[in-house]
Amino acid sequence: MEKKTVFTDKHIALGAKMAPFAGYLMPIEYTGINDEHATVRCGVGVFDVSHMGEIWVKGPSATAFLQYVTSNDVSVLYPGKAQYTCLPNGRGGIVDDLIVYCIDKETYLLAVNAANIDKDWNHLCSIGPKFGMTPGKELYNASDEICQLAVQGPKAMETIQKITKQDIMSMEYYTFKKVDIAGIHDAILSTTGYTGSGGCEIYVANEDGDKLWKAVFEAGAEFGIKPIGLGARDTLRLEMGFCLYGNDIDDTTSPLEAGLGWITKFNDAKGDFIDRAYMEKLKAEGIKRRLVGFELVDKGIARHGYDICDASGAVIGHVTSGTMGPAVKKAIGLGYVDAAHKAVDSEIYISVRGRLLKAKVVKLPFYKA
C-alpha cells in the first residue's frame, strides 16, 4: 500500500495519472509531459514533492558531524545558505545526494531523496554516536511531518511574492529564509529546485498543506499556473544535466566519476570525511569512466540501461538517463563512458535494438535559457 502525501486527493481530483513512486502514490502527469514541461519553462508550475525526506541535525557537534558525513565543505555555510552535497558510502559510492540548509551553526536541515529516507537515516544514525549525536534527539527524522511544494518557472517568485509580505524577489540562488506565507508562520522558502527555470521550494507542516496549496494556485492564476507531475520533473532536470539518484548516481558511482567534483572538497577547512583518501587517490590517478551528456545525431531515443559503444561496436559504457527534450527538441541523455571518450564532441554510438545510433558528447546543460 503506497503512502499518500497531504496533496494526493487533490491530484486525483484534478485527473492526474497516478503511479507508485518511492513508496508513495504520486502524480506522473496531468495534461501531458510536453505541455507541463513548457508551463515550467515559460511560466509557473507546481510540483508536490512532499515525498522527499527531511532530517534535522542539531547540537554543538552538528557542523563537525556534517563535515565528516558529506563531501562538500559545510564550514562555508552561514544562516540562510543552502548547499548541494552528497553522502559518500565508505565504499567509493554515494548513499544519496541532498541539500543541507544551515539554520545556524548548531542547526541544519537535510533534504534527502524520497527513496533513500530510511537508508540515509540509518547511515547517519550509525555514525552519529561517534559525534555525540543521538537518534531521536540531535538527529531527528521529520519526513512524515513536513509537506513541500516546488513552485518553479520564470513567474514562480512573482507568484509567491503576492502571498508573503517579506521580500523574496531579491533572494540569491541557493539561499532560504523563514517566511510568513498565506497566513502560515515560519514556512521555509528556499530558492532551490530541480528544473533550471528558477523558483522556490516551500516547506510547511502537513496541517498547513491545504492552506498553502490554495494560496499558491490563487496567486498564480494570472500567470496560468498548473500542477506538474513527476514525468515533466524528469525531463526538466535532464535538460539541465542534473543527476537523478538511482539512475545517474548510486552506491557504485563516485562523485568524481559523476562530474560532482565541484561538491567534493579536499581543502584544510573540510578536514577528513568519509572516502576522502579514496577520492584523493582517484583524482590523482585519473578516473577511468565519466558521466557525460550526449545528443543523438541519428534518429532515435536513448533509454536507461542501453549500451554505449565506439565506432567498432565495442561497449564503452551505458546510458543512465535519456529522453526527447521537450524544450531543446533533441534526443538527449546522460551516461558513463570510458574516460578516453569523455571529451566534448567525441563520437559515440547508442545500441538500440541491435542498431548503433550515432551520438556526440556535448557540454552540459542541454537547455540554456
Return the percentage of the chain with pLDDT > 70, whole number: 100
Residues 308-327: tens digit of each pLDDT = 999 999 999 999 999 999 99
Sheet with strand 139-141: strands edge to edge: 81-88, 94-104, 107-112, 53-58, 139-141
Residues 22-42: tens digit of each pLDDT = 999 999 999 999 999 999 999
Domains of the chain: 8-52+145-239 (3.30.1360.120), 53-140 (3.30.70.1400)
Among residues 249, 366, 355, 368, the alpha carbon closest in space to that of 302 is found at: 355
Q: Give every CB contact of residue 156 below 8 A, 6+ residues apart in sequence.
A: 44, 197, 198, 199, 200
Residues 54-94: tens digit of each pLDDT = 999 999 999 999 999 999 999 999 999 999 999 999 999 99
Residues 115-138: tens digit of each pLDDT = 999 999 999 999 999 999 999 999
